[in-house]
Amino acid sequence: MRSHKARQGHLATLALMGVLLSGCPTQGHQEAAGPRAPVTGTTGAAVSLAPEMLIGSWTLVDVADPGAGKILRLADSELHVIGSHCGTLGGSWRANDEGVFLADVWSASAVVVESTPGCEKASLETPRWLRNVTTFQFDGAGLPVLLDGRGQTVARLIPGAAPTPEPDKADSVLEQPVVTDKARRALAPAVALPAKLVPADQRLLIGRWTPKSGHNAAYLEFTADGEWHGSDGCNDESGRWITAASGTLLATARIATLAICAASVPIGQWVTTARRAGLDGKVLVLRDAHGHETGRLSPMN
């Protein structure tokens, strides 16, 4: 049996760095149900959604899970769920101007995890209610609404939430997030796929892929539960992913190991910087928001 001291060390590492998910599916992967109905301006012309308007500290309302949390904090790519039954959960998020939204939780407060049964497991996986969110829109008052793949409300966000200090909560989590130039770049609209590429959707992406060149142990695998797993040839990597219309692909990444090896392939960087995915014959082509290729992969037989 592990000593109490060893267990504390393990949990502290978990809270500060996060760990890779075990890969056990908790529910089926949902593809985003396409963009929401476009917002129209005073001229009647359609305009895109502005994902940077999601940045802030929000009070969560209308969430079916009573232990979901009280505050959702979105800052740049960082996400915190505050006031859940397991304390403060940490992770990352992605969104785009088509209304697609993706969240990933992979850490929690070591103090709460240590003292609350079931929270060690909860700190390693995204809560069910947050996994269900695939899209967002703004209501008539301009407030964000998080929706599932069927267009049903999962949570409404009310501005002005003020997190309170807790054990192990970083001071930065108490600050009100602001929209930075970095955030604007990360959330900027993506260039459309060229006509020669066939837009890849959930069905076409699921499976294991290998890079066209580089380390022969490198791979990228998309699974049906919304997880991706991979290796640069030496280090295991993972995260969550979602697809939508026109080859849209958004993906998060978690803390990876840091071994150094020759001819490594930056699989994690390829998938997380990608905003579109298309097929050139049987070859998967990942492209960033500017339309530049981030990687090419072939299907594994």
Task: Collect all residues with Cβ–Cβ distance below 8 Å to 7 and sequence separation of at least 6.
Answer: 114
**pLDDT in the model for residue 17:** 37
Question: In this structure, are 226 and 265 located in the same domain?
Answer: yes
pTM above 0.95, yes or no: no
**pLDDT in the model for residue 86:** 82
Question: In this structure, are 216 and 138 located in the same domain?
Answer: no
Burial of 285 (0-12, 13-18, 19+ CB in 10 A): buried
Looking at 183, 208, 228, the residue that finishes a domain is 183
Q: How many domains does the chain have?
A: 2
**pLDDT in the model for residue 167:** 66
Distance CA 128, CA 58 (A): 19
The helix/strand/coil state of 205 is helix
Q: Tell me, yes or no, whether 34 lies in a domain.
A: yes
Question: In this structure, are 141 and 227 located in the same domain?
Answer: no
Angstrom distances, CA of residue 12 to CA of 6, 81, 119: 10, 18, 13
For the beta carbon of residue 60, count every other beta carbon within 10 angstroms: 23
Distance CA 301, CA 292 (A): 27
Question: In this structure, are 289 and 159 located in the same domain?
Answer: no
**pLDDT in the model for residue 83:** 87
Residue 278 structural domain: 198-299
Looking at 183, 217, 246, the residue that finishes a domain is 183
Which residues of the chain are modeled with pLDDT < 50?
A: 1-28, 34-47
Question: In this structure, are 42 and 147 located in the same domain?
Answer: yes
CATH number at 272 reads 2.40.128.270
